[in-house]
């Protein structure tokens, strides 16, 4: 990929916008995406699947007197693009008006140059399928060789992608493009003991290939997490203090982000819709969303509407200071966009988090466990029992029983239930172990007693 490709994508967007304006569009913006990827899956040392793909697609959003239509196409022929633009304008003419619809104000649009955000690996081409297969095979081999009880595997996957996003808008006559890359490796071994099997996976993702953890270290951690679950059993129903290990604690932070995102708020379907400026977490909790975090997996110079991304302090000393908003939801709420619009190439923008982070504390996971006389360490969750309207929370869980400040035995086939509002306010301790390779970075969290549904 090179600058010529970026220029041709901008040219395609310019043609779409000019054609739409000629057909009667009041305003419009367009998104062009070019992506190439390699994905290889290996199981028991043999290649199961190889996917090599390249796509190029453009999308256009047209507004006609307050009505909006959006669509996408992979046909980049000039005549086809002109027809495509006219069709979208005709679609908009028959759709209902919305007083809140529209592009951002011209003065708020991102301006170049923007900083180097380290989201493209300029030195590493995409791996060849054989190279990707070798990395996946090495991870699986290391996991399988860790212990004789690891008798099977659900496979290992290596994926890599490089892409370019171009955006153009009649708001401020914005034109911009950026490139990004991503590399990921994961493995999921299966262990067996006394006729019962356990499976756990582990992986790592990064923007640069050289920063990817070694296949051996990924395989070793996947094996450790699988082996520690052997011998799991059910426990009686109880109300106990709980620790959410970092990978699953990130899910709690994700629920919080959903509850303070624009669409959920203006629809009135969030238990935090009236919480701005109030305490929703303990005083020692700080949460930020940073769309310009260097090397972040969700980092980008501008959002899905051409607004500059930024660092937003969502929670300061436990107080909710900001929502996550795009232009539409901000207008519905009488606020301003926070630069958090995201969109697919053929969809309308919606608000969502970028690089979300709950600031870590000072305690290690071991220290947090040592502070509990009897409780539960949750290492896995399943099910979709989260109600953002009420905050009610109930999910299937696996983990480890804590007795006298130590892990006693693995636990399975239980549920954990509470209310997110109470769970957030009740956080007792924050760990120092967030995963840096995720768009949602959250350390382990110790919570007050929750209802554990068991035998």
78 and 206 housed in the same domain: yes
The neighbouring-strand residues paired with 186 are 157, 203
The residue among 172, 200, 226 that closes a domain is 226
Look at residues 210, 226, 242 and tell me which one is the last residue of a structural domain: 226
Is the domain of 44 the same as that of 122? yes
pLDDT computed for residue 437 by the predictor: 80
**Backbone dihedral region for residue 194 (phi beyond 0: left; psi -120 to 50: alpha; all else: beta):** left
pLDDT at 3: 47
DSSP helix/strand/coil, 314: strand
302 strand-pairing partners: 308
Are residues 273 and 185 located together in one domain of the fold? no
| Cα atoms in the 13 Å half-sphere on the side-chain side of 234 | 9
pLDDT, tens only, 420-450:
999 999 999 999 999 878 899 999 999 999 9
- For residue 412, what pLDDT band results from cuts at 50, 70 and 90? very high
pLDDT tens column, 251-275 = 999 999 999 999 999 999 999 999 9
| Distance separating alpha carbons of residues 251 and 254, to the nearest angstrom | 5
Q: Are residues 61 and 160 in the same domain?
A: yes
Q: Check residue 124 and give its pLDDT.
A: 87
Q: Residue 384: what pLDDT?
A: 87
DSSP SS3 for 350: strand
CB 352 within 8 A of CB 220: no
Same domain, 177 and 296: no
- What is the model's pLDDT at position 216? 98
Is there a single domain that holds both residue 208 and residue 242? no
**Same domain? 202 vs 239:** no
Instruction: Mark whether 219 and 252 lie in a shared domain.
Output: no
- State how far the Cα of 184 lies from the Cα of 213, in Å rounded to an integer: 9
For helices 78-93 and 3-22, give the axis angle rounded to 10 degrees. Answer: 40
Q: What is the phi/psi pair of residue 16, to 5°?
A: -60, -45
Residues 446 and 353 in one domain: yes
Q: What is the pLDDT of residues 60-96, one digit of tens each?
A: 999 999 999 999 999 999 999 999 999 999 999 999 9
Q: What is the pLDDT of residue 435?
A: 86
* Domain containing residue 9: CATH number: 3.30.2290.10
Considering the domain architecture, whether residues 246 and 211 belong to the same structural domain is answered as no
Burial string for 146-160 (b: 16+ CB within 10 Å, else e) reads bbebbeebbbbbbbb
- Quick: pLDDT tens for 183-202: 999 999 999 999 899 999 99
User: Quick check: 443 and 246 in contact, CB under 8 A?
Assistant: yes
Residues 437 and 297 sit within 8 Å (Cβ to Cβ): yes
330 near 262, Cβ under 8 Å? Answer: yes
β-pair partners for 198 = 191
**What is the mean predicted confidence (pLDDT) over 336-349?**
96
Residues 270 and 397 grouped into a single domain = yes
Q: How far apart are CA 182 and CA 296, in angstroms?
A: 10
SS (HEC) of 249-298: HHHHHHHHHHHCEHHHHHCCCCCCCCCCCCECCCCCCCEEEECCCCCCCC
> Would you place residue 2 in the very low, low, confident or very high pLDDT band (cuts 50, 70, 90)?
very low
Q: Which of 180, 196, 226 is the last residue of a domain?
A: 226
Query: What b/e string do you get for 53-74 counting C-beta neighbours within 10 Å, with b at 16 or more?
Result: eeebbbbbbbbbeebbbbbbbe
Write out the residue range of the structural domain in which residue 161 sits: 3-226
Please indicate, yes or no, whether residues 290 and 417 belong to a single structural domain of this protein: yes
- Predicted pLDDT of residue 100: 97
Q: Considering the chain, what is the average pLDDT of its residues? A: 95
Count of domains for the chain: 2
Lookup: tokens for 327 = 């232009």
CB atoms within 10 A of CB 432: 15
pLDDT at 1: 43
Q: What is the pLDDT of residues 269-328, one digit of tens each?
A: 999 999 999 999 999 999 999 999 999 999 999 999 999 999 999 999 999 999 999 999
Residues in the chain: 455
């Amino acid at each position: 990929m090179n600058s010529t490709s970026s220029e041709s994508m901008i040219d395609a967007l310019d043609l779409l916008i000019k054609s739409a304006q000629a057909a009667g569009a009041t305003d419009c913006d367009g998104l062009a995406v070019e992506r190439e990827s390699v994905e290889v899956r290996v199981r028991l040392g043999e290649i199961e699947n190889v996917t090599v793909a390249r796509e190029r697609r453009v999308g256009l959003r047209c507004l006609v007197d307050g009505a909006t239509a959006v669509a996408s196409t992979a046909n980049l022929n000039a005549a086809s693009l002109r027809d495509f633009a006219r069709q979208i304008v005709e679609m908009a003419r028959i759709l209902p008006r919305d007083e809140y619809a529209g592009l951002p104000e011209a003065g708020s649009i991102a301006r170049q140059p923007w900083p180097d955000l380290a989201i493209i690996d300029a030195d590493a081409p995409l791996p060849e399928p054989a190279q990707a297969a070798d990395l996946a095979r090495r991870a699986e081999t290391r996991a399988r060789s860790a212990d004789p009880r690891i008798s099977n595997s659900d496979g290992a996957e290596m994926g890599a992608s490089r892409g370019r996003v171009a955006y153009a808008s009649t708001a401020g006559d914005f034109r911009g493009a950026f490139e990004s890359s991503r590399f990921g490796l994961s493995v999921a071994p299966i262990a067996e003991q006394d006729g019962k099997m356990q499976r756990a996976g582990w992986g790592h993702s990064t923007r640069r290939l050289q920063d990817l953890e070694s296949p051996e270290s990924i395989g070793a951690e996947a094996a450790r997490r699988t082996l520690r679950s052997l011998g799991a059993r059910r426990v009686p129903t109880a109300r106990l203090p709980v620790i959410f290990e970092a990978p699953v604690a990130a899910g709690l932070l994700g629920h919080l982000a959903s509850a303070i995102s624009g669409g959920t708020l203006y629809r009135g379907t969030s238990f935090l819709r009236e919480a701005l400026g109030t305490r929703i977490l303990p005083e020692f909790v700080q949460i930020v969303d940073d769309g310009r975090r260097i090397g972040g997996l969700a980092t980008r110079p501008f959002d899905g509407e051409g607004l500059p991304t930024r660092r937003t302090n969502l929670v300061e000393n436990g107080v909710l200071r900001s929502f996550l908003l795009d232009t539409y939801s901000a207008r519905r709420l009488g606020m301003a966009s926070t630069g958090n619009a995201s969109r697919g190439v053929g969809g309308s923008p919606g608000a969502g988090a970028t690089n979300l982070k709950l600031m870590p504390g000072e305690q290690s996971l071991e220290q947090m466990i040592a502070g509990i006389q009897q409780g539960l360490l949750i290492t896995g969750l399943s099910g979709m029992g989260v109600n953002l309207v009420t905050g009610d929370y109930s999910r299937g869980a696996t983990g480890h029983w804590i007795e006298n400040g130590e892990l006693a035995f693995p636990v399975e086939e239980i549920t954990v239930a509470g209310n997110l509002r109470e769970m957030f306010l009740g956080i007792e301790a924050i760990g120092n172990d967030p995963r840096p390779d995720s768009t949602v970075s959250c350390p382990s969290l110790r919570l007050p007693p929750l209802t554990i549904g068991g035998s």
